[in-house]
Every structure is written in structure tokens, then in C-alpha cells.
Chain A
Amino acid sequence: MSAIFLLILLQLIGESIVQVSGLPVPGAIIGLILLYAILIWRGEISDEMSRTSGFMLQNLGVLFVPAGVGVIAYLPMIATQWWIILLVLFVSVCATVAVTGLVVTRLSPRGIEAVEATAQS
């Protein structure tokens, strides 16, 4: 219970900071930074927090369903240009994925796979 409370509380604080400061960043991102700072300060992750975050992130996909259904309500808006939009999204997403993946792979230091393997186990 305390883990989910902390996640919600930190988002609330994040949203409040955004309201007051007018920062162009979503409140949840501020909450993420605050939680990260707490983890550095404490130096460890509690079992409960580890389980709660693992559960939420493993099931992240379901959280986008309500917004995704909302897209359908706006389909008439793109009706006349749907093929242009599909083509542009297809090309742009594929190009961005390929370029970003290649740049990060080529420029990462040798031995990063070894770090990945230890992090996995």
C-alpha cells in the first residue's frame, strides 16, 4: 500500500510544482525525478516498491487503451487524408527507429553487452 501511495503522492507534488512554476514538463516526470532522488538518498529499493513498479510496468500497455479508443472518435477528422498519414507515419517511425538504434549501438562503448548480461542475471 505504501508504495502506491508514494507513487501517487509524488505525482501530486509534481503536478503542483508544474502548476506553480509553469515548467513545460508533465507533472509525472517531475514525480519520477523526485522518486529517483529519494532512491539515491536511501541507497536501496524496498521489496514492496520493486514489486509494485514491476507490476505496473509489466502491464503498461493496458493504460493506453482508454486514450486509444478515443482516437476512433476523431477518425472523421483524418478521413480525407488517411493514406498520406499512414504513409508518413510508416516511413517516419521506421526511419527514426533505425537511425536511433544504429547511432546508439555504434557509439556505445565496447563491453556494454557484458554490463547488460550482468544486469540481466
Chain B
Amino acid sequence: MSADRLVSGLEFLAATPLLWLSLTLGAYLVAVAVNERCNKMPLLNPTLLAIALVVVVLTVTGTSYKRYFDGAQFVHFLLGPAIVAMAIPLYRHTEMIRKSASALFAGLGIGCATAILSSVLLTRALGSGRELWLSMAPKSATAAISMAVSGKIGGVPALTAVLTISTGITGACLASYVLRLVGVKEWHARGFAMGLSSHGIATARAFQENEIAGTFAGLAMALNGIATAAFVPLIVKLLDRVG
């Protein structure tokens, strides 16, 4: 093969969406294999490992994110149908949800307030500017909602997207340890705490632990999306009045 043909072949590969689609799926399979080798250690979260792998490949090959996303968007696109699919386990466990409904609503109210207040007050206490704490406030809600809320209250939606995804990864990596530390064993409570604090990425982790945990994580993610959209503007207004 001549050098010219090799170069044009490589250019073709880099331009086809298949390459970046394959890289995304391949990186995830490697990440899952590594995670399973280490007894499914939560700290070695497959999503986090796969992201790191892809970033290394993109950096080494000098590939732009735009070019990568042209291929990877097919995976990203499936997020919507996957959320719709959560209706199946929710329907299957309706009885449990009904039985624990009052506990879930209490958890939603107190959990949502904790997520917003802890991040806003700590960010302010550490001397950060208004832009950062406003962008931080909705970080526990799923990205579509947190970005919309951030824009509405005067935050920076792109910054909120980064903070939201970082929150998801933090929760997916740490929640299991925290729940063990405070002695929460029931799957429904564990899942609900994961989905409320860290939306979809922790919900993915919860589904790997157990179907009940995943179901309640998905439920918490949906409910906290709505609660965050309602509470954040109120809390911001309140804090502005206090000064």
C-alpha cells in the first residue's frame, strides 16, 4: 500500500461516524471489564473510566469534540428512549412505591433542599462570585432541567452542565460508601438517595446494583427535576433578600 493510500484511508476513518461510535462503545466495554475485575468497586465507575479513555484517545489523535460527537451522538440520542423505558420497572414496582410514598415525598423535600442549600451556602462561604453559586444551585437535577433553571436565574448554563455531570459522577462513585457509612440498607432508599442527589449517572450505577435501586433512582431523578425547577428560584430570591 502506498503512503498516499494510507493517508487517505486514515482520513476516511477519522471522518466516518462509525469510528467514534466504535470508540465510545469499545471504551465502555473495556471500562466494564476493568470494573468487574475489581469486584465492581464503585470508585472505578465504568462511565467515568470510559470518559477518561475516550478523552485520552481524542487528545493523542488531536480530534476535536465536535468531530467526536458527530459519531457519538447516536449513543447520546438513546438517552431519551431509555428514560421512557423506565416506565417498565416503575410499573412493576408500583405497589412498593405506593407503600413508601409518604417517606419518598419527605425524602424529596428534605433531600432537594439539602442539595441546593449545601452547595450554594458552601460556595458562598468559600468566597466565590455570584456566577458560580447561581450555576451550582440546580446541579443535582438532570442536565436538561439544571441548564434551563440556571439560565433563568442568571447562572451560566454551560458551566451548570459541567457541574451537573461532575455531580453525577461524584454520586455514582461515592454514594455506595456514604450509604454504608450511615447504615442505609434497603434498596429503595439507597436508589432514591442516588437518583435524587446525582440524577442519571448515579441511576445507571443503581440499576447495576439492583433493579429496585434503579427504579427508585429513576423515580427520584424525575421528581427532583421538578422539585429543583420549583425550589431553586425561591431559594435564590430568599438569599438575595437576606443579602
Contact B163 A107 (CB under 8 A): no
Count of A-B contacts judged by CB separation below 8 Å: 317
Interface 1/0 per residue, B150-174 and A, CB below 8 Å: 0000000011011101111111001
Contact check, B114 vs A100: say whether CB atoms are below 8 A apart: yes
Cβ-based interface call for A1 (8 A): no
Contacts of B220 in A (CB 8 A): 100
Q: Which of B8-16, B65-73, B235-243 contacts A (4 or more CB under 8 A)?
A: B65-73
Whole-angstrom CA separation of A115 from B182 in the bound complex = 23
On chain B, which size bracket covers the interface? 35 or more
Given the complex, which residues of A lie within 8 Å of B24, measured CB to CB? 62, 65-66
Residues of A near B229 (CB, < 8 A) are: 24
Report Cα–Cα, A11/B51, bound state, in Å. Answer: 26
Q: Which of A62-121 contact B (CB under 8 A)?
A: 62-75, 77-78, 81, 84-85, 87-109, 112-113, 115-116, 119-120
Give the residues in chain A near B88, CB-CB below 8 Å.
35, 39, 45, 49-50, 53-54
CB distance from A3 to the nearest CB of B (A): 9
14 residue pairs A–B, Cβ–Cβ below 8 Å: A8-B81, A26-B80, A32-B222, A61-B47, A66-B72, A69-B68, A72-B65, A74-B162, A77-B162, A84-B128, A87-B126, A91-B122, A104-B189, A105-B189
Give me the 3 closest cross-chain CB pairs, A-B, nearest first: A100-B111, A107-B103, A60-B204
Residues of B that sit less than 8 Å from A by CB: 24-25, 27-28, 45-48, 50-51, 54-55, 58, 65, 68-69, 72-73, 75-76, 78-93, 95-96, 99-100, 102-104, 106-107, 110-111, 114-115, 118-119, 122-123, 126, 128, 132, 136, 139-140, 142-145, 148, 158-159, 161-163, 165-171, 174-175, 178-179, 181-182, 184-190, 192-194, 196-198, 200-201, 203-205, 207-208, 210, 212, 214, 220, 222, 225-226, 229
